[in-house]
Amino acid sequence: MNKDVYKIRKEFIFDAGHRVWNQELNTIEGVTFENKCRNIHGHTYRVIVELTTENLNDYGVVMDFTHVKYYMKPLIDALDHSFIVDKNDPLFDDIKAIAEKMNLKLFVVDFVPTAENLAKYIYEYLEAKKIPVSKVICYETPTSVAEYTKNRS
């Protein structure tokens, strides 16, 4: 028997800097690529969270969009205009010292801050709040996107 599945998506935008400190690009067919993302740089991130359920709540919705925004707001506010830094980055102590000296906003994580890892981080953030998250899509640029969902099989 088929079950109904309801999905909603809510989009969020934030600006942040980062660096992919461990990036090593391979040479392909004799072409050597510049490791641009090892440099400190920034993006306007576009994040889409998808919530899924088989049963709508008493109001006939998966979750009110206002409530999705409520749960995401503290995270988006913390990320916005921050420098997302992996505490394992060899430059972490230097970056932290500069940020403290200059009163700059850091968002410290325990992973290399790629779009893929940020999508997983946001997914787990919502999952920990018992939100029926099914997918997080993270646009690092308008043409570069990562997606995270849990394998439920």
**Residues involved in catalysis:** 37, 81, 140
Which own/partner pairs from 128-135 qualify as long-range (CB within 8 Å, at least 24 positions apart)?
129/71, 131/51, 131/63, 131/68, 131/71, 132/51, 132/52, 132/53, 132/62, 132/63, 133/49, 133/50, 133/51, 134/7, 134/50, 134/51, 134/52, 135/49, 135/50, 135/52
11 CB-side CA count, 13 A: 5
